[in-house]
């Protein structure tokens, strides 16, 4: 069997999978655009830039999303692979405005892993699902030989319903929109890294891993004109803003000093040479909201535990489509770019 390359552009000259191909950055996008989509051919739906796809079924819009979780270690401050697998997929559904209904759970278990560890993860998934108000309705279990996995990998998929009249997506960002971030950034990535590398940062940093669907429902419930929602996972705030700027062909400018970064995250990132805006979050989102509605949406978010520290950080304009920049404390501007690859591999 021979394979004919059908991709119009080279995969940045790699001929093998590297860790960076799984980082959610430009290398992952290369893989999707130049390998998966040409391979899938006519069976591939138009690749949207949103966290969930939407299918119409008998007048209903069903949102559908999936993610595999390979985080190392399996347990970290503020969460574990099970909690992540449930909330990650719940959040992907919520980011297109859908009400999550049900998840599937597929496990690839490594031979030899303790049943007590699997049970802890299952319990955590049950608690996370109850917290998010979704059911775990179907699943699968496979086992691979000792050494051929890292304890366990979990893949969840989820379905939800998009309420009538709701249309939220990266392409819909509009000039004038206010950019709101729901809380402090950088916690998930630094929390995982702290336990993985055995680092201590003085204060323990906890992952922000949380279900955002309830808060999103209250935001939508205000009737505000919400154009984009995006959770700040792999690639962090920077990746989310760059994707939205590209997809909607708009310029996004944020005030660097207004971006909430917890001091412990700031210290850890300084120590590690990371920029908090590139670090993954698992319970934090950005919302792009019509300027007339921004105050109302912020007030609603402040009433919810996952949005208590929500703050407007910037705005959308038309000058340089695709450009994202930050106004610094000194009044200068720095360009924000999408990382080529994830700085922290196996973060989710």
Of 49-108, which residues contact its own copies (CB under 8 A)?
Answer: 52-53, 55, 57-60, 62, 64-70, 75, 101-102, 104-108
Which 203-222 positions form the footprint of its own copies (CB under 8 A)?
none
Which 127-156 positions form the footprint of its own copies (CB under 8 A)?
127, 129-130, 134-145, 147-150, 153, 155
- Does position 197 interact with its own copies (CB under 8 A)? The reply is no
Nearest-approach distance from CB 343 to its own copies, in angstroms: 14
Which 157-186 positions form the footprint of its own copies (CB under 8 A)?
157, 159, 161
- Between 115 and 329, name the residue whose CB sits nearer to its own copies: 115
- Between 150 and 293, name the residue whose CB sits nearer to its own copies: 150
- Between 140 and 197, name the residue whose CB sits nearer to its own copies: 140
- 316, 175 in Cβ contact below 8 A? yes
Which residues on neighbouring strands pair with residue 196, listed in sequence order? none
Sheet-wide strand order for 251-255:
226-231, 285-289, 178-181, 311-317, 251-255, 324-327, 333-335
- 251, 316 in Cβ contact below 8 A? yes
- 347, 274 in Cβ contact below 8 A? no
Give the up-direction half-sphere exposure of residue 280: CA atoms within 13 A in the CB hemisphere.
Answer: 24
Nearest-approach distance from CB 221 to its own copies, in angstroms: 19
- How many binding residues for its own copies (CB under 8 A)? 92
Q: How far is the C-alpha of 256 from the C-alpha of 276, rounded, in Å?
A: 11
- Between 119 and 299, name the residue whose CB sits nearer to its own copies: 119
Which 11-50 positions form the footprint of its own copies (CB under 8 A)?
11, 14-23, 28, 31-32, 35-36, 38-45
- Between 57 and 329, name the residue whose CB sits nearer to its own copies: 57
- Between 59 and 273, name the residue whose CB sits nearer to its own copies: 59
Nearest-approach distance from CB 131 to its own copies, in angstroms: 9
Nearest CA to 186 among 279, 71, 283? 279
Q: How far is the C-alpha of 69 from the C-alpha of 156, rounded, in Å?
A: 8
- 321, 253 in Cβ contact below 8 A? no
Other residues' Cβ atoms within 10 Å of the Cβ of residue 173: 22
Write the interaction track for its own copies spanning residues 317-346; mark x where CB under 8 A is met and - where it is not.
Answer: ----------------------------xx
Nearest CA to 54 among 45, 64, 67, 44? 64
């Amino acid at each position: 069997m021979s394979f004919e390359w059908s991709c119009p552009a080279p995969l940045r000259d790699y001929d093998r999978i590297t860790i960076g191909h799984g980082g959610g950055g430009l290398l992952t996008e290369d893989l999707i655009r130049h390998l998966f989509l040409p391979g899938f051919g006519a069976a591939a739906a138009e690749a949207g830039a949103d966290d969930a796809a939407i299918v119409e079924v008998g007048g209903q819009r069903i949102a559908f999303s999936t993610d595999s979780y390979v985080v190392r270690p399996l347990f970290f401050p503020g969460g574990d692979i099970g909690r992540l697998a449930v909330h990650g997929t719940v959040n992907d559904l919520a980011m297109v405005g859908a009400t999550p209904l049900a998840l599937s759970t597929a496990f690839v278990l490594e031979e030899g892993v303790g049943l007590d560890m699997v049970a802890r993860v299952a319990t955590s998934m049950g608690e996370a699902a109850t917290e998010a108000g979704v059911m775990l309705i179907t699943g699968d279990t496979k086992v691979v030989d000792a050494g051929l996995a890292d304890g366990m990998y979990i893949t969840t998929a989820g379905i939800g319903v998009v309420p009538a009249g709701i249309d939220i997506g990266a392409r819909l960002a509009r000039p004038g929109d206010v950019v709101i971030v729901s809380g402090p950034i950088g916690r998930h990535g630094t929390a995982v890294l702290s336990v993985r590398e055995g680092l201590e940062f003085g204060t323990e940093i906890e992952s922000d891993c949380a279900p955002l669907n309830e808060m999103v429902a209250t935001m939508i419930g205000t009737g505000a004109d919400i154009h984009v929602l995006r959770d700040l996972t792999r690639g962090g705030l920077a990746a989310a803003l760059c994707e939205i700027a590209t997809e909607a062909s708009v310029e996004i400018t944020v005030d660097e000093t207004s971006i909430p970064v917890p001091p412990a995250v700031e210290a850890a990132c300084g120590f590690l040479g990371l920029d908090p805006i590139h670090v993954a979050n698992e319970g934090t989102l950005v919302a792009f909201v019509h300027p007339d509605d921004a105050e109302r949406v912020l007030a609603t978010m402040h009433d919810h535990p996952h949005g208590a520290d929500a703050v407007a950080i910037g705005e959308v304009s038309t000058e340089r489509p695709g450009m994202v920049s930050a106004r610094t404390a000194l009044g200068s501007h720095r360009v924000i770019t999408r990382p080529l690859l994830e700085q922290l591999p196996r973060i989710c």
